[in-house]
Amino acid sequence: MHIYSLFINYKIGIEYKLLISPQVCFLEKFLNDHYDFDLRRIAIADPDYKDTSVLYLEAEDDELVMYNEGENEAEGVFYTSAEANGLAGIFIVTIPAELNEHIPVMTAQLKALKLPTTKFEITNG
């Protein structure tokens, strides 16, 4: 019976791992299940994105008019494409301070579960 119970425990563990996908809700569930099961204080959020409105396409060859601050016609800040896309594919994991000792393990687990093109930061909430 000992081998059978080991197999069942292994099977349950593998089935749980297969349920976890790179989606934010599943990553958050995984972290809360392992590190903060009762209070579930671990949260994943997107950073504040910069507005990436396109002024015009080069192929359109439109005239670009910018206004002075005193004219109050145009609001907002203009970013280069490198500045605007710098935050794409980033998420922030907020954890309680008492879980700081688990950050290295959390980092390894998130690297294994997230998409290869995404990046993340773990911060205290």
Phi, psi of 123 (to 5 degrees): -125, 160
77-87 tens-digit pLDDT: 665 555 555 55
Tokens of 37: 């099961």
Give the whole-angstrom CA distance, residue 57 versus residue 52. 13
87 belongs to a structural domain: yes
Q: Which residues does 18 contact at the CB level (< 8 Å), separation at least 6? A: none
Residue 11 lies in a domain: no
Does the structure show a pLDDT above 70 at 93? yes
Give Cβ neighbours of residue 62 (< 8 Å, ≥ 6 apart).
56
pLDDT per residue as tens digits for the range 49-74: 655 555 655 666 665 556 666 666 55
Domains identified in the chain, total number? 1
Q: Containing domain of residue 31, as a range?
A: 20-124
Instruction: Tell me whether residue 33 is in a domain.
Output: yes
Mean of the pLDDT values across residues 33-41? 95
Answer yes or no: is 2 within a domain: no
